[in-house]
Amino acid sequence: MVVKKFFIVIIFVIFSFNAFANTPRSTGKYKNWESFVAETEKGKICFAQTIPTKRAPGAIQREQSKLFVTFRPGENIKDEVSITSGHDYKSSTVTASSGKKRYSFFSQKNFAWLLDDQEEKDFIKLMKRATNLIVKARTIKGAETTDHYSMMGFTKAYNTAKKTCG
Q: Structural domains in the chain?
A: 2-164 (2.60.40.1880)
pTM of the predicted model as reported, rounded to 2 decimal places: 0.84
Give 10-66 pLDDT, tens digit per residue: 444 444 444 444 589 999 999 999 999 999 888 999 999 999 999 999 999 999 999
What would you measure as the largest C-alpha separation in the chain, in angstroms?
42
Measured CA distances, 150 to 73, 99, 103, 129, 141 (Å): 27, 13, 17, 11, 28
E strand or H helix that includes residue 50: strand 43-50
Q: CB atoms < 10 A from the CB of 139, how many?
A: 17
E strand or H helix that includes residue 11: helix 2-11
